[in-house]
Amino acid sequence: MNTAVTSIIIVAIAIVLYVTEKIPLSVTTIFAMLAMAITGVLTYEEAFSGFAASATLTTAGLMIIGEAFTETGLAQAIGKFLTSHLRAKKKWLVVLFFLAAGFMSIFFTSTTVLLLMMPIVDSMARESKGEAIRRKDAYYPIAVAGILSSNMSIIGSISMMTSIGLLENSSLWHGGDVAFLAPLPVGAPAYIACLLVYMTFGYRMQDKIFDFPDVLPDYVEKEEVNERRSKKKMIFTAVVFCCCLVFFYIGVIDIAAVALAGATILILAKCLDEKTVFRKIDWNTIIIVGGAIGFAKGLEVGGGAQLAANVLLDLVGTISTTPFAMCLTMLIISTLISNFCSNTAAAVMLVPISLMMAQNFSYDPFPFVMAVAVGVNLSVSTPICVSTITMTLTAGYRAKDYLRMGGFLNILSVIVTAVALHVLYF
């Protein structure tokens, strides 16, 4: 059996495991990575290379910086300030949350942003007894804003970081390090379109769809006493974070080096301790990002991606064989698949194929990879599409709520993203 067929069989098995989630995603990723090496598709060095990739190290550094926000009390302080000073109609509070989540998700994953903002919403809902804001008003828009905004930087989501890592580690890419805001022109239109929806008729639309009683938080917020939560450490954490953002933007230093340097400085300054870092860092995510890069490399090196690309070209070729038609095909397929399985898993499966398609057309691979990287983060139509959306189930949303509200936003996002890709690259 040749390596192309072997790599495709491994991917097919991984897809089944990803979709059914009978075993954890991280275990599936490691299984696929090891299978590529054991069957001879890759050398062991190639299979393990993802754990030293810039995307993996950047993910680890940003997780540590995000944890410092919680450990120093900075996140809680921001929440209390907003609770005390925000006075507006529900619609405009939702828009404000949409804007805040959108900005933060450029630098943090949408899951992290939602975790930071949920306590703020709960606090306001509890104190006002639902008059100022309700969980069902804010949870879903915040999640949507975070997911769409994660398409505007190379560190906004695990799937985006993984996609960029796959691109930079591909032999087909000769463009060097991808700039921090390189995905913004492709990703921003969908976020802006959905923001405009919420600024106009979106709140009324979701208010009619979300016609169930609001689930108010039933816990009592405990007053925490923590000596580490001094104002000096909060300010220091904020300063280090802002410095990292500056270096991310100007791009004079590798972003992994910046993220790790920021994390190291915060540990040395005792804004959080080493034990907390190792205990609370999401190792599951680190394994998925690192393993996925090695796993996907098998599709490229083994020839599976080329074989899959040829089959897809033959299927779509009966309609059109233009580069944009194939790029649009990848965008649509990415969105459909990621509505039913992990967006990171979808990116791992489809980025190598998109790279081969670009090579077949002798075309710049960047827009093809962006079609996948952005496409997998447009899926907001099911409760299992992205972990960030799944977390909003605590607000009481039903499957039909996601399909009706999210389906509309999903279709709108695909349309404006397709237009952006065509205008920018074709």
pLDDT in tens, 160-185: 988 998 898 888 888 888 888 999 99
Q: What is the mean pLDDT of the chain?
A: 83
Phi, psi of 368 (to 5 degrees): -70, -40
Task: Copy the structure tokens of residue 178.
Answer: 């991808």
Q: What is the mean pLDDT of residues 145-156?
A: 92
Tell the burial category of 390 from Cβ atoms under 10 Å away from its Cβ (0-12, 13-18, 19+): middle
pLDDT in tens, 229-259: 578 888 898 899 889 878 877 767 877 888 8
What ranges do the domains of the chain cover? 3-425
Cα dist. 154→108, 186, 224 in Å?
10, 12, 35
Distance in angstroms (rounded) separating the CA atoms of residues 379 and 371: 13
More confident residue, 132 or 406: 406
pLDDT in tens, 331-350: 998 898 888 666 877 888 78
pTM across the whole model:
0.72
Q: Tell me: pLDDT of 194 over 90.
A: yes
More confident residue, 280 or 171: 171
Phi, psi of 43 (to 5 degrees): -80, 160
The sign of the dihedral angle between the CA atoms of 375, 378, 382, 388 is positive
Q: What is the mean pLDDT of residues 44-60?
A: 81
Report residue 318's pLDDT band, with 50, 70 and 90 as the boundaries: low
Report residue 221's pLDDT band, with 50, 70 and 90 as the boundaries: very low
Q: Give the pLDDT confidence score for residue 55 in this predicted structure.
A: 67
